[in-house]
A = this chain, B = another copy of it.
């Protein structure tokens, strides 16, 4: 299981600085949507420049104009870029085509997808599927991670999980969703000691209750 550090609601230098603090405990570094929309694709470029050997995820949340946006992310150095599962399928097709051409990866964000849409998305065998409780949904629900017991993607496709994940909810998720990638944001970035928090996540994954 890999840890993807999600960086949001901060400046580019703050994001690079945070990533430096916790780099040895995390595998992938996500340039969050808020960074891209606030500062543009330079946020992706600067993160790749600072961490050329890490997998950089551009959380661009494409829902149209996929060729343009995905080429922009990959040219900026992203290894993975995100597309919304609620997009028209032609948009997801285009993002897969660009990723194939660059030898990079697509993460399909399942936010608010219907069961029918999820079944259609199963055909993208090379994508990563992100089970996502959004920031706004977390605020509404108080960051409960219940109701995440099942996913048609678990065991079938590469699965990521995002949204208010803590050490204790990760224990639960390791038993149910069994994700390949666990995306952690504020539990690390807003911790009193981010490097210690990141190390605890790494320790849990390596020697904890899961595998």
Contact = CB atoms under 8 A, between A and B. Distances in A.
Contact of A38 (B33, B38, B72, B134): B72
A136 B136 CA distance: 27
A196 to B, nearest CB: 27
Given A136-B91, A137-B88, A137-B90, A34 B68 contact: yes
Interface string A29-52: 000011011111110000000000
A175 interface: no
A90 B136 contact: yes
A65 B88 CA distance: 22
B140 A90 contact: yes
Contacts of A67: 136
Interface string A152-182: 0000000000000000000000000000000
Contacts of A139: 90
A86 B68 contact: no
- Pick from A41, A114, A134 the residue with the most CB of B within 10 Å: A134
Interface of A: 8-9, 33-34, 36-42, 60-61, 63-69, 72, 84, 86-88, 90-91, 94, 111-112, 114, 134-137, 139-140
